[in-house]
């Protein structure tokens, strides 16, 4: 475990966010298209506006949603 510099013995927190490259690639291929996303919090359907390594921007009824990739259960093109 990494330690703070200068001899301090307090451990530094390390944040690790895995990148699901297959999901990111699938979403990138659907840019500009309507999709249905099932997330751990429910279902969203809308147009894929942007895709980053950790989230996707979906527009549904003129509202933008920023959905974490890690929260996506499945994707279906509409």
Q: 3: which DSSP letter?
A: B
Q: Is the pLDDT of residue 42 over 70?
A: yes
Tokens describing residue 34? 């309507």
CATH 3.40.50.300 fits 21-77, yes or no: no
The string of DSSP letters for 62-75 reads: TEEEEEEGGGEEEE
The band of 2, judged by pLDDT with boundaries at 50, 70 and 90, is: low
The whole-model pTM stands at 0.74
Q: What is the mean pLDDT of the chain?
A: 88
Summarize pLDDT for 64-78 with one digit per residue, the tens.
999 999 999 999 998
Q: What is the reported pLDDT for 15?
A: 60
Q: Where along the chain do its domains lie?
A: 21-77
């Amino acid at each position: 475990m990494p330690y703070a510099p200068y001899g301090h013995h307090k451990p530094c927190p390390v944040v690790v966010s895995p990148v699901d490259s297959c999901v990111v690639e699938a979403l990138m291929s659907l840019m500009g298209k309507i999709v249905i996303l099932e997330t751990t919090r429910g279902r969203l359907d809308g147009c894929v506006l942007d895709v980053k390594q950790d989230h996707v921007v979906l527009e549904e009824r003129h509202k933008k949603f920023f959905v974490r990739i890690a929260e996506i259960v499945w994707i279906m093109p509409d």
